[in-house]
Structure 1
Amino acid sequence: MDWFTAPGYWLSRLVLQRALAGVYLVAFLGAALQFRALLGERGMLPVPRFTARMPFRRAPSLFHLHYSDRFFAGCAWAGCAVSAALLAGADSLLPLWAGILLWLVPWALYLSIVNVGQTWYAFGWESLLLETGFLAAFLGNGEVAPPVVVLFLLRWILFRVEFGAGLIKMRGDACWRKLTCLDYHHETQPMPGPLSWFFHHLPRPLHRVEVAANHVTQLVVPVLLFAPQPIASAAAALMIVTQLWLVLSGNFSWLNWITIVLALSALGLPGTAPSVPPAPLWYEVLVLAVAALLVLLSYHPVLNMVSRRQVMNRSFDPLHLVNTYGAFGSVSRLRYEVVVEGTLDGVPREDSDWREYEFRGKPGDPRRWPRQFAPYHLRLDWLMWFAALSPGYAGDWFGALVERLLENDRDTLRLLRRSPFPPDTPPRYVRARLFRYRYTTWRRLRETGACWERTYVREYLPPTRLAGVAQRS
C-alpha cells in the first residue's frame, strides 16, 4: 500500500543501515578488547558475581545461561563479524525475513553485554544504540521500500535525544540559561580531544553564540523533524552539522555518530528509487505491531520529559526498547584528575621513587596532547573522570584497579598507555593523588609545549600494598 512505504527514502535507508552497522562494529570491538580487565572472571566487576545476584528478568543476557571469558570473547567477536557483514550489505542478499533476523543478532548480542556491563556500560549511548538497532531491524532491505512508520519512529528517537537534552540543560545548570557553560565545558569535559584546547580559547562572545545555537538546535529544530519536506531535511541537516561540531570538540564515544545515523531518517537523499513490489502483508502486520508496542512504551519517556524532576539516560524496560536521554545537565567549573603512581621502594615515603601510570585518553602528563579516540570508547578513562569528581563514583571498582596494578595484571595494563614497571617487576605500593588541571595559555603553550598545567590538591588513596605481602626495605 502506498501509505505504508516511502520509496523516496531508499538511499537514506541504505546509508543509515550501513552507518549503524559501523557503529555496532566499533561497539563490539571495544567490548572484545576491553572486557577481560573490566568484566572478566578476574575483572574489576566480574560478570559471574553480577549474574549471581541479578535475576534474568531484570537484566536479560546470554551470560545468565553461561559465562566464561572465552564465551564472552566469542559473543563480542561474533558481533564484530555480523556487524562487518551488515556493513558490507549482507542483509541485501537475504530474503526480507532473514534480513530482519540478521539485524536482530547484533542487537541481542549487545543487549547481553550491556545488561551485565554494570558501571562500565552505564552510559546513555549504550541504550541509544540498542533502541536504534532494534527499530532499524524493521527498515527492511532491497525487497521493499522503507516503511513510513519506522522512519517516523527513528525521528521520534532523535526528537527525544535532542529535546530531552535541551530540557535537562534549561532545568539544570544556570550557566546554560546565562549562556556561559562553554566557558568551562571544553576544559572540564570527560575526555578532551585534540582540538578541545582551541575550542576552549575561542572568544567568550563566540561561546555565548554556541550555547544559544545549541538551545535552538535542541529545543526548536527537533519539532521540525515531523514537518513536510524539505523542512524535515533541513532540520536533520542542521542537527548533523551540530553533531559534527561536537565530534571536533571532544571525545564522546559514538553518541554523536548514532545521533547522525538517526538524522538520516529525516534526510531525503537524492536518487532514483528502484522498482520494488508492494510490501508483503506479514511484514506490514509485523511492523505495525512493533510500532504500536514502541508507542505504548513511550509513555514513560514522555512523562519524564514533562516532569520537573527529569532524569537523564534511563532505560524503562530491561530490553532497552524505549529510553530517556540527556547530557551535561550540569557542567563542572573545575577539572580534577586522579593521578595513579607506584613505587618499588619497600617503605613508601613522600621522597620515594613514585612513577606515574599513563592512561590512553584521560589527561596525565601536562605535555601530552589529547588524542582523538571517539567513536571508540575508552571505558576506564571515562570512569576515571567520574572518580575525580567523587570517590563515591569509583567505590565499586577503584580498589580492584589498584589491586590489579599491584599484581601487574596483563589485561589491566593493556587498558593503559604505559606502565612504568617491567612486566616481571610489579610495584610494591600504589597510591593515588588528586590534581587540579587547567589549560595553559597561548603564551605558555608556545614556551613549553604543554597544553595542561596541574596543581596538587590532596591525597586520594594512601600508599597501598597487597595484603599478606611482607614489607621489604
Structure 2
Amino acid sequence: MDWFIAPDYWLSRLVFQRALAAVYLVAFLTAAVQFRALLGERGMLPVPRFTARVPFRRAPSLFHLYCSDRFCAGCAWAGCAVSAALLAGLDALVPLGAAMALWLVLWVLYLSIVNVGQTWYAFGWESLLLETGFLAVFLGNDEVAPPVVVLFLLRWLLFRVEFGAGLIKMRGDPCWRNLTCLHHHHETQPMPGPFSRWFHHLPKPLHRVETAANHVTQLAVPFLLFTPQPVATAAASLMIVTQLWLVLSGNFSWLNWLTITLALPTVRFPGGDAPASAPDTAPLWFEVLVLAVAALLLFLSYHPVANMLSRRQVMNRSFDPLHLVNTYGAFGSVNRVRYEVILEGTTDEVPHEDSGWQAYEFRGKPGDPRRRPRQFAPYHLRLDWLMWFAALSPGYAEPWFGKLVERLLEGDRATLRLLRSSPFPPDAPPRYIRARLFRYRFTTRRELRETGAHWVRAYVREYLPPTRLAGPAQRL
C-alpha cells in the first residue's frame, strides 16, 4: 500500500467534496444575484474603477483582463454551473487531471470575484472558502485514494480557524474571560436569526455555560484533531455540533457550514474505506505535485502562525494575494447595544418632520419591529451585513453609503432588488431620503404577547439629513 494515500478516508473525502461544492454554489449564486448592484459598472463600488487603480499583482483577477456587467455575471453563473456539476458528482466521472481542473476553475473564478470585491467581500469566510477550495484541487477523485498530506492540511486549516477564533476572544473583550459575552451577543450580532431572540432570553447561567463550552471547543479540542482515531473523529464531531448550535442562533453566511465541511475529512465514517477495485497507488506526477504544494503552504503558514501567537493578533487577514494561507477569528469584541440605520424616503417637495416618510425594508437586517428575523445563512446578504457596520460607525459606510442613497433616489432596479421592499416604485422614486439611527432590543416574553413585536426601538439621532439628487443624472 502506498504511504502517500489514506484509503480509509474515501467516504470522508466524498462527503467533504459534495459539501464544499454546495458551499461554492451558494457563494457563486450570491455573487450572480448581487454583483451588478454592488460591484457592477453602475454599482456602489464599481469594479472597473477598482481595477484601474489597483494592479493585477496586488489583486489577481480575471476582471483585470476584461470587465463588464455581462462578463461578471457570466463568471458567477459559470461558477454556479461547475459547482452544481461537482455537487452531482461529475469529478468522479472524469480523469484525475480533469477533476482537478474543475476544482481549479472554481477557485480561479471565486478568487477573481473576491479580489475585486472590496468592502463587500472583506469577510473572513471569503478567504476561508478560497483556502479550502485550493486544497480541494489536490484531494483527488475515484482514481486515487485521498492524499495523507492534504488531509493533514485540511486539519491544519480547521485548527487555525478554531484556535485563532478562541485566542482572539481571550485576548479581546473581557466579557469572554468573565463568561458574560453571550448576555449581549445574540441580540447585537450582525444579523439575528429566527431563534436568536429565544437564545438571548436563556438564563444567564446557561449563557455562561455556552461561553465556557465555546472556549473548550476552540482552545482545547483543536489539538485533538492531530491525535489517532477515534479521538480525532470525536473532536471533529464536537466542532460540528458547536457549529450547528451557531447555525441555529444566528446568520453567519456560510462560515458555520464551511467550518462543518472542513471537519468532515477528519471524521472516519464506518464502512468508509476505498472499494476493492480502487487503485492502491497514486500516479507519480500527482504525488510530486501534491508534495510541492504542501511544502509551499507549510512555508506560507509562518505569517498566520506568527499572527496567531502574537499579543497583537488580528482577525481575518490574508498574507498573500492568492489567499492560500490566512488567519481567522471572530468577535474579538462584543457590542452591548444594538443600533440600526433606518432609511426613509418622501415625495414631498420640501421635507419636514411631518412629511410622509416611508421606510425601506431590508431582507435580513432588523427594521419593522413587528417582523421576526428570518434565516438566510448560508446565503450572504452583503448589503445587510454592511448596514450593521454602518450603524457602528459612519466611517465603515463612507465608501458606499452615499452611492446607496443615490441609487435609491434614482430608483435603480438592481439596487432595489437587494431590498425586501421599497415604498416607492422604480419609476417614481422619492424626492428626498434620510437616515436615522435607532437603538434596538429584543422584546421580553410579555412584550411579545402584548404587542406582537419582536423588537423595541428608540430614536437616537439623525444619521443622514434629508438628501436629494442635484440633478437627474448627477451625484449627491
Task: Give the structure-1-normalised TM-score.
Answer: 0.99
Match of 2:23 in 1: 23
**Greater Cα offset, 202-211 or 270-279:** 270-279
Structure 2: distance between partners of 1:317 and 1:360: 34
Q: Give deviations 1:348-386, integer Å, cap 9, x for gaps.
A: 101100000000000000000000000000000000000
Question: What stretches of structure 2 of length at least 5 have no aligned partner?
Answer: none
Which residue is 2:437 aligned to? 434
Secondary structure of residue in 2 paired with 1:58: coil
Q: Letter of the aligned partner of 1:462 in structure 2?
A: P
Tell me the residue number matched to 1:134.
Answer: 134
SS in 2 for 1:37: helix
Determine the structure 2 residue equivalent to 1:228. 228
Q: Residue 152 of structure 1 aligns to which amino acid in structure 2?
A: F
SS in 2 for 1:453: strand
SS, match of residue 59 in structure 1:
coil
Q: 1:274 matched to which residue of 2? A: 275
Matched, 1:335 2:338: yes
> Secondary structure of the residue that 1:257 maps to in structure 2?
helix
After superposition, where does 1:147-296 map in structure 2 within 5 Å? 147-271=147-271, 272-275=273-276, 276-277=278-279, 278-296=281-299
Between 421-430 and 223-232, report the one with greater CA deviation: 421-430
Q: Deviations over 1:33-62 (max 9, x none)?
A: 001110000000000000000000000000
Q: Confirm or deny that 1:423 pairs with 2:426.
A: yes
Structure 2 residue 460 is the aligned partner of structure 1 residue 457: yes
Q: How does 1:54-203 map to 2 (within 5 A)?
A: 54-203=54-203
2:377 aligned counterpart, secondary structure: coil
- Helix, strand or coil at the partner of 1:459: strand
Letter in 1 for 2:375: Q
1:41 alignment partner in structure 2: 41
1:367 counterpart (367, 370, 378): 370
Question: Equivalent residue for 2:389?
Answer: 386
**Deviation of the 1:98 alpha carbon:** 1.0
Letter in 1 for 2:182: L
Structure 1, 422-431 or 405-414: larger mean CA deviation = 422-431
1: distance between equivalents of 2:213 and 2:458? Answer: 34
| Structure 2: distance between partners of 1:421 and 1:180 | 43
- Which digits, 9 at most, give the CA deviation of each residue in 1:238-276, with x for residues without a partner? 000000000000000000011001101110011142132
Letter in 1 for 2:275: P
Do 1:23 and 1:254's aligned partners in 2 also have CA atoms closer than 8 Å? yes
Question: Counterpart in 1 of 2:309?
Answer: 306
SS at match of 2:469: coil
Q: What's the secondary structure of 1:365's corresponding residue?
A: coil
Q: In the TM superposition, what is the alpha-carbon distance from 1:225 to its structure 2 partner?
A: 0.1
Distance (Å, rounded) in 1 between the aligned partners of 2:216 and 2:34: 38
Alignment match of 2:357 (pick from 351, 354, 358) = 354
Q: Which amino acid aligns with 2:62?
A: L
Report the residue type matching 2:369 in the other structure: P
- The alpha-carbon deviation at position 210 of structure 1 amounts to 0.2
Q: Is the 8 A contact 1:124 1:313 kept in 2?
A: yes
Structure 1: which 5+ residue stretches go unaligned? Answer: none
Cα distance in 2 between the residues matched to 1:424 and 1:104 = 43
Say yes or no: does 1:446 pair with 2:449.
Answer: yes
Alpha-carbon offset, residue 467 of structure 1: 1.1
Task: Tell me which amino acid in the other structure corresponds to 1:168.
Answer: I
SS of residue paired to 2:52: helix
User: Matched residue of 2:57: which SS?
Assistant: helix
- 1:12 is aligned to 12
Partner-residue secondary structure (3-state), 2:434: strand
Query: 1: distance between equivalents of 2:160 and 2:135?
Result: 15
Determine the C-alpha separation between the residues in 1 that align with 2:265 and 2:471: 59
Corresponding residue for residue 405 of structure 1: 408
CA distance in 1, matches of 2:72, 2:247: 30
Partner deviation per Cα, 1:203-247 (whole Å, 9 max, x = no partner): 000000000000000000000000000000000000000000000
CA distance in 2, matches of 1:344, 1:402: 15
Q: Indicate if the aligned counterparts of 1:152 and 1:265 stay in contact, CA closer than 8 A.
A: no
**Distance apart, 1:300 and its partner CA:** 0.4
- Cα deviation for residue 284 of structure 1 reads 0.6
Aligned length: 470
Moved over 6 A (4+): none
Query: Equivalents in 2 of 1:168, 1:422: separation in Å?
Result: 45
Which letter does structure 2 place at the counterpart of 1:397? W
* Distance in 2 of aligned mates of 1:96 and 1:423: 50
Kindly, what percent of the aligned residue pairs are identical?
A: 83
Please tell me whether the aligned partners of residues 2 and 282 of structure 2 are also in contact (alpha carbons under 8 angstroms): no
Question: Aligned partner of 1:175: which letter?
Answer: C
Match of 2:437, SS state, is: strand
CA distance, structure 2, for counterparts of residue 240 and residue 417 of structure 1:
32
Q: Which residue of 2 aligns with 1:414?
A: 417
- Measured in 2, the distance between the counterparts of 1:33 and 1:419 equals 18
Deviation at 1:469, TM superposition (A): 6.2
Q: Secondary structure at the match of 1:57?
A: coil
Task: Name the SS for the 2:312 alignment partner.
Answer: coil
